Amino acid sequence: MKYFGLLDEFSDKEIIIQDRIKAELIGEGENKVTIRFPHQDVNYKDAVAFALLDSHNKYLWYKDTKINSDLCTINFDGFDYLQIDYVPLRFKLYLVFQGNGHLTFCRLYSKSIKDEYRLTKDKRLLYYSSISSAEYRKEEVNLITNITTSGYFGFILINKSSRVDYIVSNTVDNFKIFQDDFCFDVTLEKISKFTNFGVSFKSALPNVNTIYDFKPTLVRDMGDRFVLECRLPRTYFQGIKPDVFNLHTYYDIDGERYYSTVQIKDKENYDNILELSATDKLQHRTLIDEITFTATESYKLQFSTILPYNGVEITPENTAKRILFSPNFVATRVFYGAQSVDQLGQYRISLYTDLSGISDLSVFAHCTSIKEKIILDVTEFNPKKNEFIVDFSAFKEAMEDITSRTYSICVAFSYNGYMYCGKVSAPDYKEDESTKYLQEVETLTIKDTIAVVEPMYGSNGTFYVRVKDRLSLFKDKVSVSYQKAYFKDKYLYIVTDITNNKEHFTGYALSYRFKDSEDRRIYYTSAELIPSGDNTHLKGRFDLSKIELQKSVWDVYAVFNDGRTAYFANVYVDKRQMYDYLYHKSMSENFYRFSNKEDTDILFPYFTTRDTLAFMIRQISPCDSRKFKMKEILAVCCHKVLKWYYSHKNITLVYERKSQTAQDNGYYFFKHCMDHRVGKRLKSKICYVIDPSSPDYKNVEPYKGNVLNFMSFKHMIYLLGAKNLVYTHSKNDCYIWRPNNSVIAERIRFKKHIFLQHGVTSLKRIDKFYGKGKAGDTDVFVVSSKKEREIVNKWFGYSKEQTPITGLARWDALKDKSNGSNEIALVPTTRNWLDDVPSEKFLDSDFYNRYMELLNSPELKTVLANNDLELNFCISSKYKDYFTSDKIDNKRIHISVIGEKPLNEILMKSKLLITDYSSVCYDMLYMCKPVLFYQFDYEKFINSVGTYINMDKDLMGDRSISAIDLCNDINKMAKSNFRLPYEYKLMRDNSFTYFDRNNSLRIIQELKKVME
């Protein structure tokens, strides 16, 4: 049998990818490789084939082969892999064993080559001859035998022209600037059959093949290598099209030229180049058509023209003004300079680049998260000093709400018939809170709220301006310390300490943490100053009966006014005060109970992740009683006595949203652990936490010995003794929601956390909660692809080691069950601006009314009837009381509450998914099924939540903003028999790293690392 295709379509048998087997490379020929297996404890009678998997475990080449314990030849006749759509492409080589109803893939491995390479660093041990070749995009590609630095056998498909790059390690060092020229040495390794060699500069831009060969000043022969002394004039690239160049070397072999990359020799040389680069930008007033240099993160010496490479040609039709206002004209490069605010409050920029030859100078502020560009007026320009003054009054018309946001400052101009733009940055900036913010340059009034425009520096010196509510601008200016907070009758009393600025103190403010600027509300109260030793107590009270209390968080601020500006200050709480509050008996029922229109709520103190004072409002529950507090304290005492016992168990808890379900990644990970006895292998007691009243409890009943009933006494003790928490939504979901001074909930943050996610991080911004150092931070953040890992590394602050690419556990069970089904699914995501709002506001929301309009539209009714379709409308449990069957006049529409019925079962049976911003679209794409997007509130969503992708071009399905257009798209999909369009099939390949149903296995490996 010979097979080539997707791994998940290969076999009905279970495929297990594990273990390794020793092998030796004996010889190579055209389309074949000969392998010898040394003596080892292996039953070769069970070996049935050789197989190759690409680096993502997606594509499989499989060929039955008779295996023996001596020499085996692998024949690659008609090598199908050359049809793959990109190079370089790596493959892993496996020997396949059959038995017990499954196929086991064992990777070929050579310890001797691994050890020898570690000693010699000789790349010739890793890369061998080409065994096959073909043409790819009009260029010859070679398939080369490869052994990794870890000793594993494989193959790599590369362009023939880059072959040399894999067998040499050329370096650059001794970089300096001499008489305004760039001087450096390149060490070039000798290889066989070369007739000529040299240094070159290759464009680093995509789809640009510009190459400049450069003759070294001196060549020194060092035996097995040459040292090339180079002196590059600063004007070398003058007059060329703007570009970015990486340093390369080249060899001429058999009449053909081969290029290889050059690495900076070591960290000492890398740091030297960066230091020289920063100094050069400060001291050398560069001409606009000269070059500059830097060291990249990948240790490459890079030269670039001062002009950005993304210049746009000015034509009579495409004028400079039209280019400037185009949303696609954005900065991709950096100009270096300085920013300041003078005594008159004028904002000045001084560039380190000579601007005497430019025209059409413009400045704009760009907010990438909402794709907003505000064109600013340049009121004065001095080309001799390369300095200009910028006016920010354009913000007055542009700002429509008070949501805080940050804009990068970009400079644009025309030069030699092209428009260019770039961000501005200070190369010598050192991150410092005292110099981070400049004086405000504009005051705005937005919906009766005063806001300011304030220039600032980013962490890397980039120039930004932030728009912020003036009251919140100086929250850390004054040191205010918490003393106590308590309730008496209808009053909330707050006492704090202050060491400075007491003469400016005016009282306290209670501010609702709003998600929509329309919900903004602040209540003030006066306070008295009470001398106390070196400090001063500030005591004030709020009359809660006069405050319109609304869920969920209210921040407390001390209010100051220095005669010119009113400002807030945070109230900080130290760890000792938090501990005293949690364990003090008098605080066990320290809350204010009140009734609203819908239920009975409580207001209680809440300490934020920044250790500041706030108050939480939520519905009262049995967990707020004194009896429950005593139960917690008893559990703490029992655990303290038996701590040694529970520590020995090495407890790992797995759970999903609020411990109410067993149908997401948590359940499938736990199921895999139970079915494969993972706990025994890891020497860990792995338990699942779930409410016994949950409809999903039946899913975990077969593993009852490892199931903890949510909020039981046993659950409390196991949580206290647990070392590892594995979860899908929030690490705090293993305990009561929004606890009121809980002695157990406080300990959750001291565990090891593995975040399985409940979807792919892409469409919705969540880094403000899940980012490193934020309330929802974690130790391991599981992702599904390199693209998703790049998002998490960039926006969340986690390292690559903390973001393993494993895939989602629930995908191991995903199967397309839509054959013969007539179901489609509509799954809207929740809106954070509708959390905890009163019923009347929800019913008046655009979200509710637009979905009700769609569900009752005659167009949808016609489309469903004409194509004999049933629509499952899957809504969050938050909204189940608003969307009910009696409000929908269409018997083909069925309402499902997410959590009450497994969403993955609905998706597997559905031929089509319709969503707005939900990551379940990736589950459908994983099954190669189509998705449509209904984004009627796109602008509001981007402003309130944000996204990591460009939804105009990166969505994996067609997009509509009206119900009529959506119905037309549904009808079009039905007519095509719900086939996934080709463009989205290509997107599918780039959206996932694995299709091998081994995601849970990879997550277990990460759990093992955490335990170690």
pLDDT in tens, 286-325: 677 788 899 998 899 999 888 888 889 999 999 999 999 9
> Which of 9-13, 263-267, 599-603, 798-802 bottoms out in mean pLDDT, i.e. has the lowest?
9-13
Query: How many other CB atoms are there within 10 angstroms of residue 866's CB atom?
Result: 10
Q: What are phi and psi of 594, to 5 degrees?
A: -150, 160
pLDDT surpassing 70 at residue 79 = no
pLDDT in the model for residue 588? 47
Instruction: Considering only the C-alpha atoms of the chain, give the largest distance between any 2 of them, rounded to a whole number of Å.
Output: 94
Q: pLDDT tier at 532 (50, 70, 90 boundaries)? A: confident
| Distance of alpha carbon 280 from alpha carbon 270, whole angstroms | 15
Q: Is pLDDT of 402 > 70?
A: no
| Structure confidence by residue, pLDDT tens digits, 243-261 | 899 999 999 988 889 999 9
pLDDT at 768: 87
Amino acid at 801: E
Predicted local distance difference test score (pLDDT) of residue 85: 61
**Among 855, 864, 834, which Cα is nearest to 846's?**
834
Beta carbons within 8 Å of 231's beta carbon, 6+ residues apart: 178, 181, 182, 183, 217
State the pLDDT at residue 581.
62
- What's the mean pLDDT in 791-809? 93
Provide the pLDDT for residue 375.
Answer: 94
169-305 and 645-807 have identical folds: no
Mean pLDDT of the chain: 88
Q: Mean of the pLDDT values across residues 84-108?
A: 85
Return the structure tokens found at 508. 């306290």
Neighbours of 364 (CB within 10 A): 23
Cα 880 vs. chain centroid, distance in angstroms? 31
pLDDT at 338: 93
Whether residue 86 is predicted with pLDDT greater than 70 in this model: the reply is: no
Of 700 and 243, more confident: 700
Q: Is the pLDDT of residue 177 over 80?
A: yes
pLDDT at 593: 84
Give the confidence band of 28 by pLDDT, cuts at 50, 70, 90. confident
Helix, strand, or coil (residue 558): strand
Q: Is the predicted pLDDT of residue 583 greater than 80, yes or no?
A: no
Q: Which residues pair with 468 in a beta bridge?
A: 452
Q: What's phi and psi for 716, nearest 5 deg? A: -60, -45
Which of 134-138, 162-166, 687-691, 716-720 has the weakest average pLDDT? 134-138
CB-based contacts of 856, cutoff 8 Å, min separation 6: 888, 889, 890
H/E element, 571? strand 566-572
Residue 702 predicted with pLDDT over 70: yes
- Lookup result for tokens 């053909």: 256
pLDDT of 476 reads 62
Q: Which helix (H) or strand (E) holds 861?
A: helix 858-866
Q: What would be the CATH architecture of the domain defined by 813-992?
A: 3-Layer(aba) Sandwich (3.40)
Instruction: Give the best-scoring range by mean pLDDT among 53-62, 366-375, 607-616, 961-970.
Output: 961-970
Q: Choose the weakest-confidence range: 16-30, 637-651, 923-937.
A: 16-30
Domain spans in the chain, listed from the N-terminal domain onward: 14-138, 169-305, 313-470, 480-620, 645-807, 813-992
Q: Which amino acid is at 580?
A: D
Select the more confidently predicted residue: 518 or 545.
Answer: 545
Q: How far apart are CA 664 and CA 699, in angstroms?
A: 11
- The first and second tokens of residue 825, run together, are 């699914």
Confidence band for 587, pLDDT divided at 50, 70 and 90 = very low
| Non-local CB neighbours of 919 within 8 Å, separated by 6+ positions | 758, 759, 760, 761, 762, 763, 764
CATH architecture, domain 645-807: 3-Layer(aba) Sandwich (3.40)
CATH top-level class of 480-620: mainly beta
pLDDT at 30 over 90: no
Question: Residue 517's pLDDT is what?
Answer: 57
Angle between helices 963-975 and 858-866 (to 10 degrees): 10
Whether the pTM exceeds 0.95: the reply is: no
Give 65-72 contacts, CB < 8 A, sequence gap 24+: 67/95, 68/44, 69/37, 69/39, 69/42, 69/44, 70/36, 70/37, 71/26, 71/34, 71/35, 71/36, 72/34, 72/35, 72/36, 72/37
Q: What is the pLDDT of residue 577?
A: 73
- Mean per-residue pLDDT, 876-902: 90
Q: Locate 827 and state its tokens.
A: 């799954």
Cα 975 to the chain's mean position, in Å? 37
C-alpha to C-alpha distance for 373 and 248, rounded to whole angstroms: 38
| Lowest mean pLDDT segment, chosen from 98-102, 608-612, 709-713 | 608-612
Tally the C-alpha atoms within 13 A of residue 623's C-alpha that lie toward its C-beta: 19
Q: Give the CATH number of domain 169-305.
A: 2.60.40
